[in-house]
Structure 1
């Protein structure tokens, strides 16, 4: 049971490229493709250069932050047919789940995300294969324009009915760990953290640890975790320490992931939670895994906690934690900023972008309703 990766836009393509670099030798993915409107982003790729596909009639120059231009291009018969042809040829229907990656504050990824998600579902032709998104939130204003907050809110709101789950990564939070480094280096380091998380998450799909406990974590387990009858919002957390530091306590690793490793701020209880470990076999004892699950249950407030482990010859033990539907304050902050941005730029947005106030407020209601249903 393997996944299929789809990168949308420059940032989505970059993070998927990092994931595939990290996954070398661990065949948890059937394949991957990148769809973009800017041809210049192709030169930045390392592993997925030959799987880069340009869409939209923009002369390869991209759409900038104009999400609606990307949405219209993706919906057009010309380019939606291209998506279907490429995904079918690259064996998407043979995969068990799809992971779409996109910067929610950008133009290409935020606009095309729900359209491509629908095409993936159509090609799967069955409801049991989950369609997930890795949604990247922008740096806070003034590091990045408030326009990106506006785009993020619209991308989240318009994707709610099209995805099983959105795994959120906040550039501002993860990037703060590397704030002394140059901007380009910070983005690379963020992508590496995300890639490490996905690598650990998918390792039990191909090399689960042995022993009396269930240590595998396949696509069906992932789908069961994140599905709740609506699009779930997932907080990913990651930690890594040398074997001698962890010792025989995986609980230490879980607590470190929750305290220092969340990729977006959260509060309150999670509806469900899971922890996946990767490391030397001697570190992954049944007692240590059970104790770590108890630690996660207490810390997350969840009564539905899953655990898995994968054997990996390494000097390190790693943990990937998923928290399903806790409160995420950053989204509420983005809603406030998006409202302010629209108030200031209403004339421009209603004429040049063709997003009038009723449409914008409809997106706000959809997102705020989804957030209230989780509280």
Structure 2
């Protein structure tokens, strides 16, 4: 496997190994040795693992020739979301935040201070679709809450991505924020997190999910086929959080105020969009692409959980062995929130 810490630990574990780019036939449920933590790393028992677009996009080759930084290191254990328990600490890792027996969340996006490059759990190194996982001690965050393991596993990737976009866009109280794809994992997180910052949220969701999105704090909910220029008005929105893109992209820019901000970290409806540069420069707009996370993002999320300032949106759970069924259900897009695998 890609994490060279794998070695005999006195037992074996069940893991889902993605063998390469392709369909569900690339997901192999197998037995592997329990990994051993190397220098500065910790061994975790995975309690729950979330299902994300990132896992599927990496397997299907949607990102192109490679993962986030280079060619994806298949065969690979995917899984960007991990709620886990610390089993043991490797040499040089000390104790610090990695107290044996403590419940933790794993930060899925680690940005190098030297190179500025981001490495993603489950895309650039082995992830959470296994019973055990080895990660650097720096990426382990203890969490104290009354949430279940599965509820906690909905947080890392989706909420981290959403919080990072809001942070980069500088969302503050009193602003008007439009969130597309508001029933999905990142979208529903963005609604909650923008409301937490004191923003007025306009959300876009399908008819069957609109009431659920309203309960997250959205003031206005639009349908996917609604023209935002008519529904909310031109130059009426300060920030747009858009992970949908596709054909609706040009209309979104027209509802931004002069000097407004468009921020994205995905393109569910299509990565190729039409951009009229006159709309961009004549209105002094900012377009932000987000992959790497600000350093403060994950610690902030953990504090929001512990203060009950956000709530999980758990769409359902599946046994780890049923990963194909979980991903198929995920791709129907009939849910609000996230699906989670239980090892």
TM-score by length of 1: 0.27
More strand by percentage: 2
TM-score by length of 2: 0.29
